Chains A and B, each alone.
Chain A
Amino acid sequence: MNAHDFTLAGARLRALGSGALWWPDQGLLCVSDLHLGKSERVARRGGAALPPYDTRDTLTRLAADLALTHARTVVCLGDSFDDLGAAHALPEEERLWIARLQAGRRWVWIEGNHDPGPVDLGGTRLWELPLAPLTFRHIAQRATSGEVSGHYHPKARIRTRARVISRPAFLADSDRVILPSYGTYTGGLDCTAPALAGLMRPEALAILTGRNVHPLPMPRAQEAP
């Protein structure tokens, strides 16, 4: 499996190349910031008419991760829908698809800033999910430990000898892990941004996602060139 293993508060976790977090001992798969229905929302608000296949693509990747892990529990870490309108406007086909993915497993929608209310899809809605020794919530809080969160869509840029490469990344230290966004049409925030740099401990790791995962010490701003 293309993955990087690490521990958080004693829990053995596995960062997958897809951007999902797998907790084998609990049979739990966690994904963040799916932003389902983003193309619909952008078009509704007068933006560009983007190709409306993002939800399908995100769900295809999620289905692949579920088939790979046989997860018993799925935690969507918030911003699962681009907004509540987008959640309600999902085409029937995509709703049924979500229902099929949910069949036979526990499914938790953590509420995010984009989707802070009920949606008429199966699964439990929670503000946060404590599951000792970890807590799942959308936005990281300072002075917590064993926290799994999303929200920031972290990315990391690496200067290699030939060119600079930027990829979505997990950020992990001994207190928390921040997941990259899983949605197809989502951008990212560089991990040198103050919001992220200030949150992570000095020894934090960035785990680049992609065909191969690459862990490295989290890049910081004004590093010696």
Chain B
Amino acid sequence: MGFVATDYATLIWGLDAVTDPAPLFDRRALREGLDGWLAENALMKRTFRASATIAGLIERNLPQSAKKTGRQATFSSDILYDTLLKYDPDHLMMRITRDEAMRGLVDFGRIEEILDRIGGRIDLIRLPRVTPLAAPLFLEVGKVSVAGSADDRLLAEETARLMQAAGLE
């Protein structure tokens, strides 16, 4: 459902508990997922938001300036990103976004190198508490949430519960 990374650790969260980490590091799935992931990626959208703000397409949400600009139309950078991706993927702003996002963040060669080195030796450890290295991650700013199938599952669960509580189903 989302991730956050610092220089020394990565935190990923999802709906289901991980019981077998091997499929997560499946080389083919990683490679195939990379393009789609890069295009739909929340990280790209966040990078895009920065360039869209500089280009004046959207306004930064600041606590003080909120609701005081007098401008009625504010736009979701996600919608702008999706629209450009669909109709004008080579737009200058999209190229800037890709360059920005690629800078040191996604280097598939290095991922493969690490995969070779670990060669399937992955330890899955369930801890009774949050580890000292993991704890700061929970406070880290810049969490990136990923809109995937988890959203629909969450909605299905919650709406079914509400409908039942209201006696409608």
B157 in contact with A161 (CB, 8 Å): yes
A-side interface mostly? loop
Q: Pick the contact of B83 from A57, A187, A203 — CB < 8 Å?
A: A57
Given contacts A51-B91, A184-B79, A187-B74, contact A217 B158 (CB under 8 A): no
B84 in contact with A214 (CB, 8 Å): no
CB distance from B103 to the nearest CB of A (A): 24
CB distance from B123 to the nearest CB of A (A): 26
B155 in contact with A158 (CB, 8 Å): yes
Closest to B169 in A: A215
CB distance from B146 to the nearest CB of A (A): 11
Q: Pick the contact of A51 from B73, B84, B158 — CB < 8 Å?
A: B84
Interface string of B156-169 (1 = CB under 8 A from A): 11110011011010
A211 within 8 A of B: yes
The number of chain A residues touching the other chain, given as a range, is 20 to 34
A215 in contact with B15 (CB, 8 Å): no
A185 in contact with B87 (CB, 8 Å): no
On chain B, the residues within 8 Å of A160 by CB distance are: 154-155, 157-158
A49 within 8 A of B: yes
* B-facing residues in A208-225 (Cβ within 8 Å): 208, 210-212, 214-217
On chain A, the residues within 8 Å of B166 by CB distance are: 203, 217
Give the B-binding residues of A (Cβ under 8 A): 42, 47-51, 53-54, 56-57, 158-163, 165, 167, 184-185, 187, 203, 205, 208, 210-212, 214-217
Shortest 5 CB-CB distances between A and B: which pairs?
A160-B154, A53-B87, A216-B159, A214-B159, A160-B158
A-B contact pairs, 15 of them (CB 8 A): A42-B73, A50-B57, A51-B84, A51-B91, A53-B86, A56-B87, A57-B83, A158-B159, A159-B158, A160-B154, A160-B158, A165-B151, A165-B155, A203-B166, A216-B158
